[in-house]
Amino acid sequence: MGFSTSDDAAVYRLTSKLAVVETVDFFPPVVDDPFQFGAIAAANALSDIYAMGARPLFALNLVGFPKELPLSILSKILAGGQSKADEAGIPILGGHSVQDPEPKYGMAVTGVVHPKKVLSNAGAKPGDVLLLTKPLGSGIATTAIKRGVASTALMKRAMAVMATLNRTSGEVFSSGKFKVNALTDVTGFGLLGHLLEMMKGSKTRARLALERIPIIQEVPALAEQGVVPGGSKANLAHVSKHVRFPKELPEHIRWVLADAQTNGGMLACVPAREVRKALTALEKARVETAIIGEVVAGRPGIEVVG
């Protein structure tokens, strides 16, 4: 599995019972706290392994760091990354660093999966129910933090959402206790971007119930004030010709739906007959989950209803 399905990681079959899963992700700081930045970046990199139904084995650090900043800051970034590796139960076996005018951090993560148990983003079927495990809005929230207009409550909530490892939800979706036809995680392309990739890969159409989509409190109001990152606006421009919105839906809500996420939630397509099993398993694992829509037959795209 490579570029053809826009999946979250590469999968290379080694034997009939074993495939290696490989992904890499790194970016500049999304928050000021170096430890939290490291934790968020590591959790984000690990998420792509879980989104393939795989189990991580180990990671390598990727670092860009300015010579002008004290190494104590880098130590805190790496400590944040180590905290998430520990939570995932994997070692960090090394890595690579370069001098860079802007700090950057992330990981290359290696995992394994049975070749027949890979969860692609291209298997959605009409009749599937769409499940989402985290609220939207971290991109707008971090922009508000950078501009100094975020409340303390919003800062805490956004950092908690971004730093939460997708291990538990990934393990539930890959458990085999219920059928999962397609799985991805919502990151830089936003909910609309990643869902559109899923629908194109599956040759199906999504119908989103607007009132069911979880959104971090304060985010819609901030978006209405224009506190929106450029990436989220670019996401909306990219997907807009494939998305049918209600005519009366304000642009700021459209930005929220396209908001570029950092370590967002898992987005799963589960057959309707399996949804009760899925929700029971996720609730037992203490994973907050929302039913946000359904998959229907039709031209690949998205309809937003409500």
Contacts of 247 (CB under 8 A, 6+ apart): none
What pLDDT band is residue 221 in, cutting at 50, 70 and 90? Answer: very high
Per-residue pLDDT at 271: 97
pLDDT band at 6 (very low <50, low <70, confident <90, very high): low
pLDDT at 94: 95
Q: What percent of the chain has pLDDT over 90?
A: 94
pLDDT at 1 over 80: no
CA-CA distance, 293 to 221, in Å (whole number)?
A: 24
Reference 126, options 34, 26, 13, 203; nearest CA is: 203
Higher-pLDDT residue of 77, 122: 77
What pLDDT sits at residue 120? 85
Task: Kindly report the average pLDDT of the chain as a whole number.
Answer: 95
Task: Summarize pLDDT for 59-114 with one digit per residue, the tens.
Answer: 999 999 999 999 999 999 999 999 999 999 999 999 999 999 999 999 999 999 99
Band the pLDDT of 3: cuts 50, 70, 90.
low
User: Each residue of 155-173: pLDDT tens digit?
Assistant: 999 999 999 999 999 999 9
Domains of the chain: 10-117 (3.30.1330.10), 128-305 (3.90.650.10)
Residue 192 has pLDDT above 90, yes or no: yes
Overall average pLDDT of the 125-142 stretch: 97
